[in-house]
Amino acid sequence: MTLADISQETKRRVHLALPFVMFGDYLAEALAAGLSLEVGLDHQALDLFTMADFKAAAAKLKKAGVKLTVHAPFCDLSPGAFDSLVQKASVTRLKQALEVACFFEPQVVVIHSGYHPGYHRERQAKWLELARSGLEEVVRLADARGLRLALENVFEPDPALLTAIVEYFASPALGYCFDAGHAYAFARSSWQPWLEAFRGRL
């Protein structure tokens, strides 16, 4: 199958994940193919590029009429970290990503909770308390900027940890992103319980 074989409806509904650091190599091809995009704002992009760079790229995408989502950085980040310095750095990085995301006017910005079973499984209640406090600034900023956040499942063993965060904030700025591959690989679970728990906020 080639890009030419993909229907326009699929191109509109499915977003190609394209890290910002790869825009120079692949953006022209993605635009020519008429693909919707998920803009990856990882730590490299946020360190290497300026606000002017992001603004220019966003203007180009807007002119092309591309449907956009944004994926916030997640590598090494833990907004619910037990180490307060790690938590502070994680929140700072996420807020930085949201300020950049504003240029792209995305349908949604995907974020991770940072939960890791190796570190947090035995102290889930404490982790949840810290994750809520860490994400509070992030959710508040998203709401102020008119951004919608989607909390994605990764290593969480079931939906309960994520629903405990989303329901705690009860904010229109925060919902869910369901990754079926993560559910099967890490939670050893089918999609049904996740979609049931996330119903109405996906």
- Residue 102: pLDDT over 70: yes
- Residue 10: pLDDT over 80: no
Q: What domains sit in the chain, N to C, each tagged with a CATH number?
A: 15-198 (3.20.20.150)
Q: Which residue has the tokens 């977003």?
A: 15
Which positions ≥6 away from 74 have C-beta within 8 Å? 42, 111, 112, 114, 154
13-17, 29-33, 55-59: least confidently modelled range: 13-17
- The pLDDT value recorded for residue 61 is 98
- The pLDDT value recorded for residue 1 is 65
Other beta carbons within 10 Å of 12: 12
Which positions ≥6 away from 16 have C-beta within 8 Å? 30, 35, 36, 37, 38
**What does the pLDDT average to over 28-55?**
97
pTM (predicted TM-score)? 0.94
Helix axes 124-145, 160-169, angle to 10 degrees: 50
- Residue 3: pLDDT over 70: no
**What does the pLDDT average to over 116-136?**
96
